[in-house]
Amino acid sequence: MGFCSCFGREGEQKGTSGLNLPQARVVSVVESRQHYSVNGGHEPGTNGENKTQFPIRTFSYYELAAATTFFKEDLFLGKGGFGCVHKGWLDNGQVVAIKQLDRNGLQGNREFLVEVLMLSLLHHEHLINLIGYCTDSDHWMLVYEYMPLGSLEDHLHDLPPDKAPLDWKTRMKILAGAAKGLQYLHDKINPPVIFRDCKPSNILLGEGYFPKLSDFGLAKLGPVGDKTHVSTRVMGTRGYCAPEYAATGKLTVKSDIYSFGVVILELVTGRRGYDEKRPKYEQEVVDWARPMLKDHKKLSKEMADPALKKQFPRRGLFQALAIAAMCLQEEAAKRPKIHEVMTALSCLASQSEVSNDYYGGPSTPKSLQKQPMVDCYNQQDSSRTDQGWR
Ligand SMILES: Nc1ncnc2c1ncn2[C@@H]1O[C@H](COP(=O)(O)OP(=O)(O)O)[C@@H](O)[C@H]1O
Ligand SMILES: [Mg+2]
């Protein structure tokens, strides 16, 4: 995980960066689940909330070593700030991804505990399933359902020649699904959960590019009662972090909306949220895009990811950019709520599905039409030729 170099480790205390926390602590964190409520205390089971919740299992080191043939190299899936991830098979035949906590990694015990706590409480079809964990002496590991298509980031940048780029329709569907996961965190959980690390590498893909949010180690409970924000040390990833949060440490659900806006921009333009290989003024995709997002006359189809090879509905492109622009507004209060973003993206995804002729499709949800960025694409000249649709 690429944490901002200016960002510190939150709440990390000297002496806790090793693996010396007692197992009882993990258990007590998991047991605190009764303090949360989903849907104001009602039983989950609607709107994609997973009804069947299996208890989180504990594994021994040897069970997980056996599952991965002692972490065989050819079962290696990737490495993030937490440590290495391997594919494995449990004794019941279930395919899993096993993430080992790296002693020297950027993340540590605190994130491990928060991940276990959050994922034992949160269950939704667009959130990764945690199957269990291991805290045997030095071997701390997390066991997840296996996501066969890897992370969204794996499908966006530095593609090997034999890998086809994602098409427009798939991109919109992934965004709509990820927004549903965020909506569950913001609107269905009380108090809301702020994800805090929304970016393509934390959106994993199942069969048919079905997206699931992953990596809840930085997640935070949102403000309760009269509080407007929670104060925290600034954590997150450069390029995705909301400006007011980076400047003040005041965290709200609107910080997630900003990060999600960066993800939309990344999928539409094919530029990384932060790319140090680019010239300084355009290392952050938001800095590069802002002048165009602020002035609709500067919006152009040239902003689209060249890997799309011009295969996108022109008006759909402007709509997606307009949604991104609203999420990226500097004033947090002006950013839309996640259900509005989700509705708009679902609309785009379904329009892409039903028709090649985008112009005849349903209009943008009313809640978003109020925003100036949407008005601007409604005024685009629809007589210009469309780029066609695969
Ligand atoms: N549940 C999973 N199923 C399949 N692959 C996974 C899973 N979790 C992680 N991976 C792979 O391992 C890589 C590293 O994951 P992670 O440790 O979460 O780091 P990061 O989020 O920084 O990419 C991911 O990019 C992905 O390719
Ligand atoms: Mg991840």
Say which residue, 352 or 64, is predicted with more confidence: 64
Tell me where in the chain the CATH 1.10.510.10 domain(s) lie.
152-380
Residue-level pLDDT at 382: 32
Least confident of 217-221, 361-365, 372-376: 372-376
Q: Whose CA is nearest to atom 19 of ligand 1?
A: 80
Query: What is the Cα–Cα distance from 63 to 92, expressed in whole angstroms?
Result: 12
CATH (residue range 5-26+34-145): 3.30.200.20
- If one compares 56 and 375, the residue with the highest pLDDT of the two is 56
The overall average pLDDT reported for the chain is: 82
Ligand 1 pocket check for 97: Cβ under 6 Å: yes
* Residue 267 CB–ligand 1 contact under 6 Å: no
Tell me if residue 197 is catalytic: yes
| Residue 72 annotated as binding site | no
Q: What average pLDDT does range 343-369 have in this prediction?
A: 61
DSSP track, 302-348: GGS-GGGTT-S-HHHHHHHHHHHHHHT-SSGGGSPPHHHHHHHHHHH
Query: Is residue 359 predicted with pLDDT exceeding 90?
Result: no
Q: Tell me which H or E stretch contains 212.
A: strand 211-213
Residue reference for tokens 């003024």: 281
pLDDT in tens, 242-267: 999 999 999 999 999 999 999 999 99
pLDDT value at position 18? 29
Q: How far does residue 376's CA lie from ligand 2's centre (Å)?
A: 36
Q: Over range 372-383, report the average pLDDT.
A: 33
CA of 191 to the centre of ligand 1 (A): 28
Share of the chain above pLDDT 70, in %: 76
Locate 312 and state its tokens.
Answer: 């996108």
Query: Which tokens hold the place of 374?
Result: 């949407």
Task: Say what the alpha-carbon torsion angle 263, 53, 223, 256 is, to the nearest 10 degrees.
Answer: 0
Q: Is the pLDDT of residue 5 over 80?
A: no
Q: Is 205 or 380 the better-scoring residue by pLDDT?
A: 205
**Which residue matches tokens 């965020």?**
182
Name the burial class of residue 275, with classes exposed (0-12), middle (13-18) and buried (19+) by CB atoms within 10 angstroms of its CB. Answer: middle
Does position 238 have pLDDT exceeding 50, yes or no? yes
CA distance to 168, 194, 342, 357, per residue, from 174 (Å): 10, 20, 11, 21
Name 277's Cβ contacts closer than 8 Å, sequence gap at least 6: none
Residue 27 is predicted with a pLDDT of 38
CA of 205 to the centre of ligand 2 (A): 11
Question: What CA–CA distance (Å, rounded) separates 159 from 63?
Answer: 34
- For the stretch 143-169, pLDDT in tens is 999 999 999 999 999 999 999 999 999
**Neighbour-count burial for 197-232, b at 16+ CB within 10 Å, e otherwise:** bbbbbbbbbbeebbbbbbbbbbbbebbeeeeebbeb
pTM over 0.95: no
Domain with CATH 3.30.200.20 in the chain: 5-26+34-145
335: Cβ–Cβ under 8 A, 6 or more apart, which residues? 254, 257, 258, 261, 326, 327, 328, 329
Give, using CA atoms, the residue closest to atom 17 of ligand 1.
80
**Residue range 361-371: mean pLDDT, rounded:** 45
Q: Which of 151, 157, 202 to mutate to test the pocket of ligand 1 (most atoms within 8 A of CB)?
A: 151
Q: Cis (ω within 30 of 0) for the bond into 191?
A: yes
14-62: per-residue pLDDT in tens? 333 322 333 434 434 333 443 444 443 333 445 677 756 678 999 999 9
Query: Nearest to residue 2, comparing CAs of 243, 200, 160?
Result: 200
Matching CATH number, 152-380, of 3.90.700.10, 3.40.190.10, 1.10.510.10, 1.10.3730.10: 1.10.510.10
Q: Measured in angstroms, how far is the CA atom of residue 80 from the centroid of ligand 2?
A: 7
**Percentage of residues in the chain with pLDDT exceeding 90?**
66
Cβ–ligand 1 contact at 78 (below 6 Å) = yes
- The per-residue pLDDT for 327 is 98
**Considering 74, 154, 197, 226, which one is annotated as catalytic?**
197
Bigger pLDDT: 295 vs 95: 95
